[in-house]
Amino acid sequence: MGRKVTVATCCLNQWALDFEGNCERILRSIEEAKAHGAKYRLGPELEICGYGCADHFYESDTLLHSFQVLRNLLESPVTQDIICDVGMPIMHHNVRYNCRVLFLNRKILLIRPKMLMANHGNYREVRWFSPWNKLRQVEEYFLPRMIQEVTGQDTVPFGHCVLSTKDTCIGTEICAELWNPDSPHIQMGRDGVEIFTNSSASHHELRKADQRVNLIKSATTKSGGIYLYANQRGCDGDRVYYDGCAMVAINGDVVAQGAQFSLDDVVREGFLSCMSCWRLNMTMSSVCAGFLLPLSGGVDSSSTACIVHCMCVLLCRAVEGGNSRVLEDVRRVVGDESYHPQDPKELCARVFTTCYMASENSSEDTRSRARDLANQIGSTHMNINIDVAVKGILGIFSAVTGRWPQFRASGGSARENLALQNVQARVRMVLAYLFAQLSLWARGRPGGLLVLGSANVDESLTGYFTKYDCSSADINPIGGISKTDLKRFLLHCAEQLQLTALRSILAAPPTAELEPLTDGRVSQTDEADMGMTYSELSVIGRLRKISKCGPFSMFCKLIHTWRDALSPSEVAQKVKRFFRMYSANRHKMTTVTPSYHAESYSPDDNRFDLRPFLYNASWSWHQNTAYRLGLELSLKEATPLFM
């Protein structure tokens, strides 16, 4: 005769090295689990110290403080009469492991070290931890004295084992072990394990959640059982956002699923914008009083503006729902202890400043688009003219050299043309920081503003931006998102949030507006400058990173993918142009603003896309190899990749 079992999983907004806050959130989740009758509580990976400690894992302090928190958990009356499954780093035989610690009523039942490490993309676990390679083997772990004093135990089981009770058997997986073709749950299912648990720190990436759900469902489809999934939620002080989405699956069916994006610190198990949550985490952990954004009226800066607006929508909903912590944070940011947000637009006016930085090359179309969007989202909007500053800088140059550079349209050289564009872009960065520091002072309010950037992943990939221009900011929420996805996001905002100003922004061709106008109209477009469309660039970016293609293999794939639209020689020219831009501009990625990681082809130089920043841009070997292929295929217009 079967018996009912109540188990609980959760998502926690843990922060690296925030031991006090992490402990409080763990206890709160256990308390909620017990309130719902649960006898087992599962938490996220490394929840005691936070997953994102990085090289702090090397420090003995991190291990010490983790055990101090574990002692507090063991001693707390909240943890009595429920099996608690928590994550922390542990040193065993002088080797550091990423572990789960299961305990009940002040007794540690077992310590399960991670066996299959996450060591790709954003993950570097083998830098700090070793995998446990002893299958079905358990050793004695000697507990620190501070833990012995509480548990009365000298040693506890450490290794690859499961927990057997009178009623069932519980087996543990940790994050990446689920994604491995030889996942532990396969053998555990054959051995009679009925409840499988997975403690994760899995970050959000566009289109990734569906893969995760399918893996969890498949884990119990064949052999049956219950699968519990817990995940970190929040940014944890880094470029990624852990997107929660805790769930329970039974016999291949998801029966409970928590919110993927939430402002709650504890989510037991349900999207305006993940980037909004990431940005909110960043804001609340800083001492800023809001944001400043140079709003150009284009897709990129409008996307950043809409993310802030979505953040305000989420905040107002949380406050309306009675979330006192969110209300407290909002009051701290606006500097008013009695403030209560009325609606997203009113809140946006308090925390968000936008500015259109016009030059003699700016059109009335982009000015009006920026103004209309600012009016609809409610930001405090300013119009700034940068011509005086640009002419002042050029005046200094002229006074020293006796020369005054000209745009190409006025007979200037390519060097002059590029330099004049860069001066405008860099002046905007300097002015953005000036207004971020002092605009609230000018209004008689305390605090400063975080400067927001708006360079998308495609521009970062090709280097189609000025180094130290407005892409240089405090944070860049869209730096890991393609132009194609940003357009989809704006279309969603236009439909769901009634931001009608976005229609004209989506219809306009992307332009930097750094070269002179022709009859008052824009003469410069991004796609003409790059020599390829954003949709083509999106394909190339995925081939470079996800498919791991160099110039030759990319050419081989694209002559088939694009065969209905482009000739082999046209494909070759586009690949050649891309790799020239990429290799010449890769150095820009070493100084790029921290951005939210959202795309699997992100060129983030910090941790995700580790490549040189200095190249020989001729790519001559690739050129010759592609040329020979062209001859073999008898292409009439065989063109080498690089010349």
Q: Are 295 and 356 in contact (CB under 8 A)?
A: yes
Q: Are 225 and 246 in contact (CB under 8 A)?
A: no
Which of 45, 205, 513, 599 is an active site residue?
45
Q: 86: which residues sit within 8 A by CB, 6+ positions away? A: 26, 43, 47, 48, 70, 73, 100, 101, 103
Q: 336: which residues sit within 8 A by CB, 6+ positions away? A: none
Confidence class of residue 282 from pLDDT cuts 50, 70 and 90?
low
Q: 209: which residues sit within 8 A by CB, 6+ positions away? A: 243, 245, 260
Active site residue 536: no
Give tens-digit pLDDT for 438-472: 999 999 999 999 999 998 988 888 888 898 887 78
Q: Name which of 266, 267, 269 is nearest 249 in CA terms.
A: 269
Longest dimension (CA), the chain: 95
Q: Are 101 and 70 in contact (CB under 8 A)?
A: yes
Q: Name which of 14, 596, 28 is nearest 285 in CA terms.
A: 14
What is the DSSP-derived secondary structure letter of residue 595?
Answer: B
Residue indicated by tokens 């299961």 = 102
Question: What is the CB neighbour count within 10 angstroms for residue 471?
Answer: 24
Q: Are 142 and 155 in contact (CB under 8 A)?
A: yes
| CA separation for the pair 62, 81 (Å, rounded) | 28
Confidence class of residue 636 from pLDDT cuts 50, 70 and 90?
low
Active site residue 557: no
Q: What is the pLDDT of residue 271?
A: 34
Roughly what angle, to the nearest 10 degrees, separates helices 568-585 and 551-561? 140
Roughly what angle, to the nearest 10 degrees, separates helices 299-320 and 483-496? 50
Strand partners, 89: 98
What would the mean pLDDT of 370-385 be, rounded to a whole number? 98
Residue 635 has pLDDT above 60, yes or no: no
Which of 23, 49, 84, 175 is an active site residue?
175
What is the DSSP-derived secondary structure letter of residue 280?
Answer: H
Long-range contacts of 485-491 (CB under 8 A, 24+ apart): 485/206, 485/598, 485/599, 486/299, 486/300, 486/303, 486/456, 487/299, 489/273, 489/303, 489/306, 490/299, 490/302, 490/303, 490/306
Active site residue 175: yes
| CA separation for the pair 243, 398 (Å, rounded) | 53
Q: What is the pLDDT of residue 593?
A: 87
Q: What is the pLDDT of residue 268?
A: 40
Nearest 5°: the CA angle 301, 320, 205 is 40
Residue 54 has pLDDT above 50, yes or no: yes
| CA separation for the pair 177, 119 (Å, rounded) | 12
φ and ψ at 158, to 5 degrees?
-135, 120
Q: What is the pLDDT of residue 269?
A: 37
Give tens-digit pLDDT for 78-129: 999 999 999 999 999 999 999 999 999 999 999 999 999 999 888 999 999 9
Q: What is the pLDDT of residue 263?
A: 61
What is the distance between the terminal CA atoms of the chain, rounded to a whole angstrom?
77
Residue 260 has pLDDT above 60, yes or no: yes
Which of 34, 114, 483, 576 is an active site residue?
114
Active site residue 600: no
Taking CA atoms, 575 is separated from 416, 433, 466, 563, 612, in Å, by: 27, 37, 22, 14, 19
| CA separation for the pair 609, 605 (Å, rounded) | 5
| CA separation for the pair 76, 570 (Å, rounded) | 69
Question: What is the CB neighbour count within 10 angstroms for residue 98?
Answer: 28
Which of 183, 199, 223, 296 is an active site residue?
296
Strand partners, 410: none
List the structure tokens of 347: 């809140």
Higher-confidence position of 19 and 617 = 19
| CA separation for the pair 167, 165 (Å, rounded) | 5
Give tens-digit pLDDT for 416-431: 999 999 999 999 999 9
Give tens-digit pLDDT for 284-305: 555 689 999 999 999 999 999 9
| CA separation for the pair 208, 223 (Å, rounded) | 25
The SS3 assignment for 497 reads coil
Q: Are 250 and 260 in contact (CB under 8 A)?
A: no
Of the candidate ranges 9-18, 191-200, 256-265, 505-514, the one whose mean pLDDT is the lowest = 256-265
The SS3 assignment for 337 reads coil
